[in-house]
Amino acid sequence: MSSCGSSLFGPPSQYIKVLGGDFVAVQGSNIMEKLTVSDLRMPYKQILKSRVILKPGQTNYLLNHLGLGDNATFLAIKVLYDPKSVIEEDNFINWSFYDDMSNIHTMAQMMVLTGNSTNRIKQLYLTNPSVKYPVSIEVMIGVIDDNYSFFSDTINQIGTSFTGLEYTDIKSYVVGESIVINDKYITPRPLIYINIVNIQSIERNSNLLIIDDSGFGTIFLQFIDEYNAIQAQSLLNYVIDNVDINIDNLTPGDNISPIIYFNSYFDNISSNAYISYNGLTSSVPYNTTNGFTFSTSIDYSTYVSASPSVTIDKEYLINSLISGISDNRDGTMSIIPSNILLTYNSSPVNLISGTGSYLVKFKFEDIANNDLDSVNITINVN
């Protein structure tokens, strides 16, 4: 049963969220307004994604578009605040274009900028005004062509660079404190020592890693190929999240895909169908270490006749099928609707809209690009 207006428990909550590719303003259970963005198409040839942590009080962090310089044509920034930062007025960051630092702008939860081949997005400086809490930002950068160049701000940009590296050149120096990057001599010699606590962010552009270090500034690490750069990024992120790890004790390379753990039953309700592996149900719940082919079934009329009726979209399927995802290096991971590929009769769809056989696949990978492309779940809708 839908509701509108106030209830015995006070006025309904009001907020704006993304739903089905659109921005929607909700009031309680009602959608008040909608801005359709799912029809937009922003072309790209290069795409990069990374996470950056702005430490408390950090000023003028250069977001050089993950190493793509002045060439970005798409920029999306999502901001995540520390759970302890509960005062709404304190949860914002300042930003300015690199060539107009006196003109300061603000943002809260997210910002999207777009351009084209003749009007590209200038690089940004970011500042965290909070002196108490760090701010984590997730960044996606797109470029319409294959151009890239580094920012040439001679006042603010300094850097240290090393070339011809392999990920196996990264070793623990003082376990729990620092790492060392060695050269290629028969008896390796240290190129640089890096304190783990000083690493603020790690970005990758093809075979190049860009480290923002609070002691050295910007460190450029060029690897012999993209595979080694990917493995190095995975390794460094793992060491940052697990400071006491000795790199020498790790199995070389991160070549293991994340593990999806499934519910025993669809919707995690015991009266519903099992989520089976190759038709087997004796050892539920299953996960992707068992194999790649899973199946379940649902009674569509149950969801249509519910009050209010239930929309079985990608977000609903995530909650109904999956109990969790973990990775040997990246730890607990989360999956979002854009990571789900739902098809009916081999055609992509956004929701289950009737009876028939639907196929769920996963467009999901860890930092080292180990994916889950082979995993699929057949949902027989009766």
Q: Among residues 48, 42, 65, 62, which one has the least CA distance to residue 117?
A: 42
Average pLDDT over residues 181-204: 89
- Judged by DSSP in three states, 33 sits in strand
pLDDT of residue 68: 66
The per-residue pLDDT for 9 is 42
Residue 190 has φ and ψ, to the nearest 5°, of: -70, 135
Nearest to 201 by CA among 336, 61, 320, 79: 61
Give the pLDDT confidence of 197-225 residue by residue, as tens digits: 999 999 998 899 999 988 778 888 989 99
Does residue 154 have a pLDDT over 60? no
More confident residue, 20 or 2: 20
Whole-number Cα distances in Å, 359 to 36, 333, 355, 368, 377: 27, 22, 13, 26, 6
Residue 150's pLDDT is what?
A: 43
Mean pLDDT of the chain: 88
User: Against a cut of 0.95, is the pTM above it?
Assistant: no
CA contacts within 13 A on the Cβ side of 206: 11
Per the model's pLDDT, the better-predicted residue between 39 and 275 turns out to be 275
Identify which has the larger pLDDT, 336 or 215. 336
The CATH class that applies to domain 41-153 reads mainly beta
Q: Is there a contact between 212 and 226 (Cβ–Cβ < 8 Å)?
A: no
Which amino acid belongs to residue 130? S
Confidence at residue 102, expressed as pLDDT on a 0 to 100 scale = 67
Q: Would you say 106 and 55 are in contact if contact means Cβ atoms under 8 Å apart?
A: no
Confidence of residue 1 (pLDDT cuts 50, 70, 90): very low
Per-domain residue ranges of the chain:
1-39, 41-153, 158-253, 259-381
Neighbours of 330 (CB within 10 A): 19
Three-state SS at 169: helix
Length of the chain: 382
| β pairing state of 217-223 and 159-165 | parallel
CATH code of the domain made up of 158-253: 2.30.29.30
**Residue range 235-239: average pLDDT?**
96
Confidence of residue 162 (pLDDT cuts 50, 70, 90): confident
Query: Torsions phi, psi of 72, nearest 5?
Result: -65, 140
Residue 19 pLDDT exceeds 80: yes
